[in-house]
Amino acid sequence: MGNSQSRQQIETLNEDESLAHLTALYSQKVLNQELSLIEFSRKKTQLESMPSKVSLKMANFTTWESMSPTLFSEIAKSVFPTAYFVDMQAFPDLYEENQAQQIIDEMKKYPLINFHLLSSFSNQNLSIWEQIARLSPMIGCYVQELSDQNNVNPRDRILNPPAKHILKRISQIMKETESGFLYLVVNLNPTSLYQMQEFVELAVEFQIPEVQLKSMPLQTNHLNELKMNQEELSEHLIEEYSKCIDTCIKHGIRFIFDDKSLIPQIGHDKVISARDYHYNYPKIPFPLDESLSSEFSSKHKWSSIDGRVLDKSKVALYKKCFKPYHHAIFDYHGEVGGCNFLLEPETHSLGSLKDKSFGEIWNGTKMQEFRQSLLSGNPLDDRCKWCLKNRMGE
C-alpha cells in the first residue's frame, strides 16, 4: 500500500478495501515502532526504523515566524506514514486562514495519527477549529486566567467569549462524532489561583473530561501581591484543590495537579480517586480498534508495545535514552532534531531540511553521534544530563 493513503481516498473505497488499507497502514506503524525498540536494544545508531512520534514547533511566539504549508507538507511526506503521534505546537494560533487551511488539508491525508494541539484559541476562526475537531485530535485548551480583557501576547491571551465559543463547539463535535479528546490546562499564577473552581465549572459546563493544573513556583513579589506568606498560600491551595476535586469526582472529570507537597493534607485516596479515568477512554485514531485487525493485533498487542516504549523512556533508570530512536522534532525553519525536550528554549538541531532530506539527517553523522552519546550515558547537552539523573517518563 502507498504510504500516503489519505483519509479522503480511504473514504472513497468500499468497506473491505478501506479496511484493508487501514489495517495495512496500521501494521506498518506498529511494526516500525517494534523495529525501533529492537534497534535500540541492539545499540544500533544507523536505523532502518523511522520516527513514530513527531513534535513540530510550528511558530515562534516572539517573532511570529511560522512553518510554511510547503515545509509542513515535506515533513508530512517524510515521517507521517510511520508516525502515530504528532504534536503541533503553536498551530493554528499564529496562522492566517489560508495557510491554516492548507495545513489542515495536508493533515486530512494521513489517517491513524493522533494529532495533539495545545492552544489558547488565539486563532478564533471557527471553521478552522471545526475541521480540526473532526480529525479526532487531542486538544489541550491552555488558559492562564478567565477574563474578558485582551492581551497582546497570544501565549498569555485569556479565554475570552469567542474562545469559549470555540471550546464549546469543539466539545460538541467530539460528542457528536464520539471521538477526539479535549482537556483543560491551567497554569497557576496570582490571578488564576482564585479562579480554580471557575475552571472546573467550565469543564463541567462544556463536558471537558480532564483538567490539569500546572504549578509554578510563586516569587516573593507574587506572594506580596497576594498578601500571603508561603504557609497561607499552601492552606489556600489545599482548600481550593479539595473543592475542585470534590466537584470533579461528582461530575466524572479527571483532575490532575503536579504539586506533590499538597497530597498528604488533601488526602492520598482522594487525590488518586481524582486521577482515575471516569469516562470511556478517548476514541482517537491510533491504535486501530483491535476488532478491525484481530489477526495482526493478536500477534502485535499494542498495549504491550506501548508499555515497552514507556518503560524504555525511564532514562534515569536505564542511564541511556531511547528518544532519538523513535521521536523526531522539526522547527518552523526546518531544523531537525531527535527529542521533544530539546525544542526549547533553543532547538538542538542535528541538520536542516534546507540542506538535506530527512532521511539523510535521520541517519546522518550528527544524529548517529547523538544516539551514541545517549547510549554511552555521555551526552553534551545539559538537558540530556538532567534526564540521565532524573527523567522517569516520556
| Among candidate residues 370, 326, 320, 322, the one with its CA nearest the CA of residue 350 | 370
CB of 345 to ligand SF4, least distance (A): 13
Amino acid letter, residue 136: S
Specify the residue, 22 or 328, whose C-beta has the smaller distance to ligand SF4.
328
**Bridge-partner residues for 184, per DSSP?**
141, 211
Cis peptide before 324 (omega within 30 of 0): no
Q: Would you state the cell numbers that stand for residue 360, as one nine-digit string?
A: 539523510
Distance from C-alpha of 175 to C-alpha of 221, rounded to nearest angstrom: 43
| Among candidate residues 322, 358, 324, the one with its CA nearest the CA of residue 339 | 324
CB of 50 to ligand SF4, least distance (A): 17
Specify the residue, 21 or 348, whose C-beta has the smaller distance to ligand SF4.
348
CB of 313 to ligand SF4, least distance (A): 7
DSSP 59: B
Specify the residue, 22 or 361, whose C-beta has the smaller distance to ligand SF4.
361
CB of 308 to ligand SF4, least distance (A): 16
Distance from C-alpha of 331 to C-alpha of 351, rounded to nearest angstrom: 11
Specify the residue, 75 or 384, whose C-beta has the smaller distance to ligand SF4.
384
Specify the residue, 204 or 316, whose C-beta has the smaller distance to ligand SF4.
316
Specify the residue, 185 or 315, whose C-beta has the smaller distance to ligand SF4.
315
CB of 33 to ligand SF4, least distance (A): 17
Question: What SS3 state is found at 187?
Answer: strand
Question: What SS3 state is found at 150?
Answer: coil
Distance from C-alpha of 131 to C-alpha of 279, rounded to nearest angstrom: 24
CB of 151 to ligand SF4, least distance (A): 31
CB of 391 to ligand SF4, least distance (A): 6
Per the listing, cell 545539559 goes with 382
CB of 394 to ligand SF4, least distance (A): 8
Specify the residue, 238 or 342, whose C-beta has the smaller distance to ligand SF4.
342
Specify the residue, 29 or 326, whose C-beta has the smaller distance to ligand SF4.
326
Distance from C-alpha of 245 to C-alpha of 22, rounded to nearest angstrom: 40
Specify the residue, 25 or 374, whose C-beta has the smaller distance to ligand SF4.
374
String of DSSP letters for 86-109: EEEETTTTT--HHHHHHHHHHHTT
Q: 212: part of which helix (H) or strand (E)?
A: strand 210-214
Amino acid letter, residue 9: Q
List contacts with ligand SF4 (CB under 6 A): 315, 321, 323-324, 339, 341-342, 374, 379, 383-384, 387, 391
CB of 344 to ligand SF4, least distance (A): 11
Distance from C-alpha of 25 to C-alpha of 85, rounded to nearest angstrom: 14
Per the listing, cell 465559543 goes with 165
Q: Are 180 and 129 in contact (CB under 8 A)?
A: no
